[in-house]
Structures are given as C-alpha cells and as structure tokens.
Amino acid sequence: MTKVINATFNRQQGGFTLLEVMVAMFIFAVAGAAIIKTTSEHINSVGKLEEITFATWVANNQLMRASLLSEKTWPPKNKERGSVEMLDRTWYWQQEVQATADEDLKAIIITVGNDPEYIGSITSVTTYVAKSNG
C-alpha cells in the first residue's frame, strides 16, 4: 500500500495552477487597459493640437486683415466680431483694441473659438499696430 501512495506524490505537474493563470490574466488586463488609456489620450491630444493650430491660423489671418485695415482707417475698430470658414469648420473671432502709452500705437487682440456665442476661446493672438504717417 505504501508503494501506491509514493507513486502518486512522485508524479510531475504538467501545467499551471488556477492561481498562476488568474495572476497572469490580471497582469495582461492591467497592461491592456494602460495601453488603451495611453492611446486614447494621445488621440485626444492630437485632435486638440490640430484645433489649436487651425484656430491660430484663423487668428493670424484676422490680425493681418486688421493690420492692413489700420493703415487706411485709424484707430482700428474695437469689439469687432465675425466668422470665417476654414477647413470645413466655422470659426468665430472677435477683435479687441487696447490703448497703449503711445497714442499712435494700439494693441489688437484676436480671440478665436468655435462657439457662435463667443463663450470660451481656443486661442488668442496679439499684435501692435502704429498709426501710419501717410
């Protein structure tokens, strides 16, 4: 009878225990969730960066327009608003003119967003324009 008991204890294991399999599955699940979260954050940040870049292009275009108009009419218009189509999107911009210490120099701030009510903004760009002597 002792020989039969010893024979069962000497047999080698042929696989993983349930606990080992569950720990491995947990590790893979945590790693997979981390990869998915990182990928999602990267995709969101690329979209936000694209939106900021496009809004900056719109703001720079409006600054150039305001700069050119200030050569013809002085002082530049304050609280001007408008919308423009660019890259299949409607962008809403507003212009604010601020006085400086020099009467012949004005600060023009263009704020761009995608809300028609001008609540919140994506970017804001500032330039200074001088009164032309001509």
Length of the chain: 134
- Judged against a pLDDT cut of 60, whether residue 97 lies above it is answered with yes
In sequence order, the β-bridge partners of residue 106 are 99, 129
* Confidence at residue 51, expressed as pLDDT on a 0 to 100 scale: 93
What are the pLDDT digits (tens) for 11-37? 566 788 999 999 999 999 999 999 999
Alpha-helical runs (H) found in 10-130: 18-72
- Judged against a pLDDT cut of 60, whether residue 5 lies above it is answered with no
Which pTM value belongs to this model? 0.69
- Cα separation, 65 vs 127, in Å, equals 12
Domain locations in the chain? 16-130
What are the pLDDT digits (tens) for 64-76? 998 888 888 888 8
What kind of architecture, by CATH, is found in domain 16-130? 2-Layer Sandwich (3.30)
